[in-house]
């Protein structure tokens, strides 16, 4: 092969490798970049507010995570997320925070965060938590957590939390490695998409009758993230 081919191949590999290292939230190039949510300019994240107009309130949110949340929905949990949409000072800083309330026997159903690793600690109660690795092994790593215990969910992997106690609620606090981690609840995405995925496709994928898929798609798939 000609030397120029090797040069182009090496350049391509270097470019791909450099992009892979930037696949998560980029590092800030200044002390802060408070989100200007009124700007008409669209960028990956938010445009920076004029630093001369930034105040301490841009980095502050009053008493947002101290109150128990409503867990009376179908899945019995409530996720209260603080990201750059709620706290402008988080823009470009690559981190967000969530309080998760669980009713007795409530769960935060299987979901993924496409842009973030999550670290969770139990504030009150008991949780059974776990994540599943990618194909082909699909290994389940699971643990029962008690107050003060900590567990990590790797970026992009399907994970869940469940309160196994029938008469006591639970509360957890989670930090995520993105200003906007995103969430894909598996059942909601598969059976509640708009427009719906063809029942022929889902019946074959899940190896069940089409009637079962039709019934699942007819359900109300609740969002527990607020």
Angle at 116 between CA 165 and CA 168, to 5 degrees: 10
Round to the nearest angstrom and report the end-to-end CA distance of the chain. Answer: 57
Q: What is the pLDDT of residue 20?
A: 42
Q: Are residues 155 and 213 in the same domain?
A: no
CA atoms within 13 A on the CB side of 185: 17
128 vs 151: CA distance, rounded Å: 11
Q: Are residues 35 and 87 in the same domain?
A: yes
Q: Give yes or no for a contact between 197 and 128, defined as CB atoms under 8 angstroms apart.
A: no
Q: Are residues 72 and 170 in the same domain?
A: yes
12 vs 8: CA distance, rounded Å: 6
pLDDT tens, per residue, the chain with 226 residues? 555 655 555 555 554 444 444 446 767 778 889 999 888 887 878 899 999 999 999 999 987 788 899 999 999 999 999 999 999 999 999 999 999 999 999 999 999 999 999 999 999 999 999 999 999 999 999 999 999 999 999 999 999 999 999 999 999 999 999 999 999 999 999 999 999 999 999 999 999 999 999 999 999 888 888 7
Q: Is 17 domain-assigned?
A: no
Q: H or E element: which one contains 191? A: helix 186-191
Q: Is 12 domain-assigned?
A: no
Q: Are residues 50 and 73 in the same domain?
A: yes
DSSP assignment letter at 85: T
Q: H or E element: which one contains 200? A: helix 199-206
Q: Are residues 43 and 128 in the same domain?
A: yes
- What would you report as the CA-atom Rg of the chain, rounded to the nearest whole angstrom? 21
pTM: 0.85
Q: What is the pLDDT of residue 10?
A: 55
Q: What is the pLDDT of residue 21?
A: 45
Q: Is 68 domain-assigned?
A: yes
226 vs 222: CA distance, rounded Å: 11
Q: Is 114 domain-assigned?
A: yes
Q: What is the CATH number of the domain that holds 137?
A: 2.60.120.10
Beta 127-132 vs 140-145: how paired, if at all?
antiparallel
Q: Is 1 domain-assigned?
A: no
Can you say which residues are annotated as belonging to the binding site for oxalate? 108, 113, 118
Domain range for 157 is: 23-182
Q: What is the pLDDT of residue 19?
A: 45
Q: Are residues 217 and 150 in the same domain?
A: no
Q: Are residues 104 and 152 in the same domain?
A: yes
Q: What is the pLDDT of residue 22?
A: 47
Q: Are residues 203 and 178 in the same domain?
A: no
Can you say which residues are annotated as belonging to the binding site? 108, 111, 113, 118, 159
Can you say which residues are annotated as belonging to the binding site for Mn(2+)? 111, 113, 118, 159
CA atoms within 13 A on the CB side of 75: 22
Q: Is 8 domain-assigned?
A: no
Q: Give yes or no for a contact between 116 and 179, defined as CB atoms under 8 angstroms apart.
A: no
β-sheet bridge partners, residue 185:
111
Q: Are residues 166 and 129 in the same domain?
A: yes
Q: Is 74 domain-assigned?
A: yes
Total domains in the chain come to 2
Q: Are residues 42 and 132 in the same domain?
A: yes
DSSP assignment letter at 33: -
Beta 158-162 vs 127-132: how paired, if at all?
antiparallel
Q: What is the pLDDT of residue 161?
A: 98
Q: Are residues 118 and 209 in the same domain?
A: no
Q: Are residues 169 and 90 in the same domain?
A: yes
3 state DSSP class of 141: strand
């Amino acid at each position: 092969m000609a030397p120029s081919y090797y040069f182009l191949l090496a350049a391509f590999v270097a470019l791909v490798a450099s992009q892979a290292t930037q696949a998560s939230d980029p590092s800030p190039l200044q002390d802060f970049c408070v989100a200007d949510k009124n700007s008409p300019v669209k960028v990956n994240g938010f445009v920076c507010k004029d630093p001369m107009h930034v105040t301490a309130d841009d980095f502050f949110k009053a008493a947002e995570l101290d109150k128990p949340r409503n867990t009376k929905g179908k899945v019995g949990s409530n996720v209260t997320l603080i990201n750059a949409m709620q706290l402008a000072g988080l823009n470009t800083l690559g981190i967000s925070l969530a309080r998760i309330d669980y009713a007795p026997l409530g769960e935060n159903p299987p979901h993924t965060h496409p842009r973030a690793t999550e670290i969770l600690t139990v504030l009150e109660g008991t949780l059974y938590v776990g994540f599943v690795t990618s194909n082909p092994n699909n290994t389940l790593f699971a643990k029962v957590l008690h107050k003060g215990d900590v567990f990590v969910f790797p970026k992009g992997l399907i994970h869940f939390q469940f309160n196994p106690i029938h008469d006591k609620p639970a509360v957890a606090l989670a930090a995520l490695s993105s200003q906007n981690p995103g969430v894909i609840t598996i059942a909601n995405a598969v059976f509640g998409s708009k427009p719906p995925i063809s029942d022929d496709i889902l019946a074959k994928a899940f190896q069940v009758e089409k009637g079962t898929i039709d019934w699942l798609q007819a359900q109300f798939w609740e969002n527990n993230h607020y």
